[in-house]
Amino acid sequence: MASAWIAMFATLLLAFVNGTKDEVHTSPSVEVHTSTPVVALGSPVTASCVIRDDCPLIKGKAIHIVWHLNQRLIPSSPAAANESGGNSAAANESGWISTVLYSVANQSGWNSTVSIPSFTDTRGYLTCCVLHTFPCQIVGAVEIRAGFPPPAPQNLSCLTNLTKPETLSCQWDPGQDTHLPTQYTLHTKIRDLQESNTYVLPPGAHHYRIPRTGFVLFSEIEIYVKAVNALGQATSTPLLLEPMKSAKFDPPKVLKVQAEPNRYGCLRLSWCLSEEQAWVTIVSLEVRQKTANSKQWSEEPVSVPRLVRQRPMEVCRLLHGTEYHIQIRVRYHQSPWSEWSNSNAAVTLERAPTGRLDSWMTVSGEQRQKHLSVHLLWKPSKQFRANGKILSYVVSLQKQPTKKGQLCVTLDSHCVFQLPRRARKVFLSAGNAAGASSPTEVEVFQHRALAAVSDVNVLPHDERSLLVQWTSIHSSSVTGYVVEWRPLWKMDPSLILFDHIDRNQSSTLISESIEPYKPYGISVYPRYKDGIGLPQTVEAYSRQKAPSAAPNLRVRETFYSRIELTWEEIPLCQRNGIVQSYQIFYWNEQGNTKVVTAELEKRRVVLGELNPSSSYKAFIMVSTGGGSLNGSEVTLKTEPMDVLAIIMIVISSGVGLSLLVIISVLACFSTHERLKMCFWPMIPDPANSSIKRWTTSDSMQDIPPVQDMQESSLVYLSHLSLMDLPKKGLEKRGGQITDDSWCHCSDTSDLGESICGSPHALSPSYLGSHQHSVPYATVVFDSPYSSQPPSQSHAYLRSESTQPLLEDELEEPSSPKEYQNVPVRGTSGEQVSFRECQDDGPGKGELYTLWDDFPLLRALAINDIQSET
């Protein structure tokens, strides 16, 4: 049963496609009705579904009817269902404002109605379904289409084709899409014949060709288009035309072009129409031309109205002796122009060239030479007319050129010749088959040290032009400037170009023979009344890119710790820009990469701090203003450290050390007194002292103050010391040790005499224990020795020297600053202080008892006593 209903629904849909009935009966038991199958887009739509009681789906069953639009369920509204006993739906995603559905059961069956306030689909299928099992069963359907009425066709135009078969082709703009099938018909009416025709167009066609039987060439015809669909119809504005005036001719033919005899600057051409259109007698014609070396046709063609067919025509106001290519096109009255004809060429009659030539001269030569080397360049000025094919340019010393005075005869635009130094002018003229032009006078300016322009700057304007700027010279003697440019990758002098610039200008745009990625040398010369200034030249590119090739690295020298690399300069034709930097990338086997930037002028680099016997890899990167390119990778290897290198290192180290030692020795000799005092201090010799002749002024001058004394009074030191005795000075005589040098005292030292002559000389036991040193001490006084009062006590300080001062049993780690209370041992074994000895007065026994423990002081005392006596 389900399969049967599906087949029935498929048949129903097929019926919707092939027909537009407002009522579709799927079976005698079901009827679906709609108000209209085609509505305006956005209009309301109402449909109903009637199922009779003889339908097998509803017999003895409780059914539920639902509606679908393009397989979308239309939901029901509970309120409407309560009122009508059926289903209702509110607004949904399709934009419906209110949709009421209801189903009513009566004696004859079921009736369900759906209302859609705004139908927004351009085409939809509204289906009625019975829902009592899943899925629901479709019992009826209806197709509804929505769109717009057709707009009036616009821009109706027709064109007559005179080529067989002759037709009148019309086309128009249909306007806005109606979303509905629209039928277009083309209507024509020939006024003279009162004949009308209607042509039905196939669906979707917006053009039509009217056959030759449907129009007359020289009779007016009225044409319009009518559009009709289910919602309405529209008609275009009628077009009234004469088919011949709307005819587009085939391209004509240029038969021959030739120069008019005795008419300079004119050409005569013969032409004809195509064979199918040769019957036309009068047409309008246009001519365009271009010179042989030009790529652009003339912007304004020459019009020739109402020309009789097959009659030749003239084209004048052309250049003399110039080859021209000619084309024509035709039309009838205001009909469209035909396509351009074939091209044909001819040369106008020649005349002698007119106007002057622009020239530029460079002069070179030393003062001692009798002739100058001159390079002269020229080009046509704006007023120059070749008036034919130039056969030669002549440079002469005379205004009227003769073979004797000719310096150069050439077809090129430059010439190099030798000129006598005394010459101040040359004359330049151009000649063709008809004659020669008036000579152009060119002044000869030798090189002079005239001021040059400054701040020349060249900027790319586009790929084919350069903007040259400079700072003008503010001088009344400047008459103008000359800008010269030439390709640097070619040394052909014929490629040098120039331009004259007014003195008030400071920039110019050059575009002749400029190519991208090519280097050009741009020079700016100031022109003075009496000469040409020095040039300022820069290199420029209209556009840059990465170089086409990178240089190859070559190893120049290899050492154990460095490698020197070099490379050749990139050819100019492969640079593609101004080289800005060379960078060398190199890395060791561990991948540690370093970069070195080389100087542009030197094109060499040294890779330093390398390891001996190690392999490295490197490549060069060359950069321009437009990009960079990496060169090929090369492998490098450092040399091992050989014996010669080690010897050189050792020698250089030894030489450096020797120089350091020599410098140190020289420094020592320059300050030998200070060094001598540091390493060999002067130790006072008691044998050569003169304590007796001390004075207050002497003691004050020689004795430095002691800063660490606690007493506030001045401290005076004796500075007495005994130096080490030489071994050879000690001799053994009869078991006694004597010091000849010690006892061999002169009368210049009272202390020496006292010690030598004293009965309290050093005992042999003391000398035996200190054979190589003599004890010494320092006597400290509260005031100068000569001013010491008898009752004032003296202080004794131990020497800080490392040499022994007293007997081993009397040495102590440290000594107090004052020895007034230090106990001393007398001859009888009792301890006697230094103060007590002084208080006993002039008694000598006690004093000698004190000196037994201090032999040096005892000698001083003895000498002092002897001096008093």
C-alpha distances out from residue 349 to 4, 288, 345, 844, Å: 96, 19, 13, 158
CA distances from 253 to 185, 336, 340, 346, 715 (A): 39, 17, 9, 16, 141
Count Cβ atoms below 10 Å from residue 416 Cβ, excluding itself.
Answer: 14
CB atoms within 10 A of CB 797: 19
Cα distances (angstroms) measured from residue 580 to each of 466, 566, 594, 600: 20, 17, 20, 8
Tell me the C-alpha distance between 549 and 208, whole Å.
63
Q: Which pairing describes strands 247-248 and 154-161: parallel, antiparallel, or unpaired? A: parallel
Taking the CA atoms of the chain, what radius of gyration do you get in angstroms? Answer: 65
Mode of pairing for the β-strands spanning 183-190 and 195-200: antiparallel
Q: How far is it, in rounded angstroms, from Cα 107 to Cα 54?
A: 11
Residue 56, classified by CB atoms within 10 Å of its CB into exposed (0-12), middle (13-18) or buried (19+), is exposed
In contact, 221 and 190? CB cutoff 8 Å: yes
From the list 295, 293, 353, 288, the residue with the least C-alpha distance to 323 is 293
How far is Cα 581 from Cα 603, in angstroms, rounded to an integer? 10
For helices 643-670 and 672-679, the axis angle rounded to 10 degrees is 90
Strand 520-528, strand 478-487: pairing: antiparallel
Q: Determine contact, residues 197/212, Cβ cutoff 8 Å.
A: no
- Report the residue count for the chain: 869
> Distance between CA 371 and CA 454 in Å, rounded?
32
pLDDT along the chain (869 residues), means of 10: 40 39 52 83 84 71 78 63 38 39 56 82 84 74 87 90 86 88 90 85 87 86 91 90 88 90 87 86 89 86 79 87 90 89 90 91 78 91 87 89 84 91 90 90 81 92 94 90 93 90 94 93 92 92 94 90 92 92 93 91 90 91 93 90 71 85 78 66 65 50 47 45 45 42 40 40 43 47 48 45 43 43 42 41 44 54 45
For 2-147, CATH gives 2.60.40.10
Residue type, 771: Q
Q: First CA to last CA across the chain, in angstroms?
A: 172
Q: Which residues pair with 682 in a beta bridge?
A: none
* Cis check: omega of the bond before 203, within 30 degrees of 0: no
Beta bridge partners of 466: 460, 510
How far is 401 from 706, CA to CA, in rounded Å?
117
Closest CA to 331 of 453, 195, 162, 164: 162
Architecture of domain 250-347: Sandwich (2.60)
State which fold the 154-246 domain adopts.
Immunoglobulin-like (2.60.40)
Of the candidates 530, 525, 499, the one whose C-alpha atom is nearest the C-alpha of residue 424 is 530
User: What pTM does this model have?
Assistant: 0.49
Tokens for 224, please give them.
Answer: 């319009």
Question: What is each CA distance from 315 to 240, 272, 348, 400, 654, in whole angstroms?
Answer: 37, 16, 10, 36, 101
- Extract the tokens encoding 780: 């400290």
One-letter amino acid for residue 574 of the chain:
Q
What confidence score (pLDDT) does residue 292 get?
86
Q: Which H/E stretch holds residue 750?
A: helix 750-757
Find how far residue 829's CA is from the centre of its chain: 106
Amino acid identity of 633? E
Per-residue confidence (pLDDT) for residue 631, from 0 to 100: 93
Whether the CB-CB separation of 170 and 238 falls below 8 Å is answered with: no
CA distance 500 to 522: 14
Q: Which CATH number fits domain 454-510+521-535: 3.40.50.720, 2.60.40.10, 1.10.357.10, 3.40.50.12780?
A: 2.60.40.10
Burial profile 830-852: b = 16 or more Cβ within 10 angstroms, e = fewer: eebbbebbbeeeeeeebbbbbbe
Tokens 């209110």 found at: 98
Question: Is CATH 2.120.10.30 what the domain over 554-637 is classified as, yes or no?
Answer: no
At 830 the pLDDT is: 43
pLDDT on residue 194: 80
- DSSP track, 753-800: HHHHH-TTPPPHHHHHHTTT-----EEEESS-GGG--TTS--EEE---
CATH 2.60.40.10 at 357-443, yes or no? yes
* Full DSSP string of 426-472: EEEEEEETTEEPPPEEEE------PPPPEEEEEEEEETTEEEEEEEP
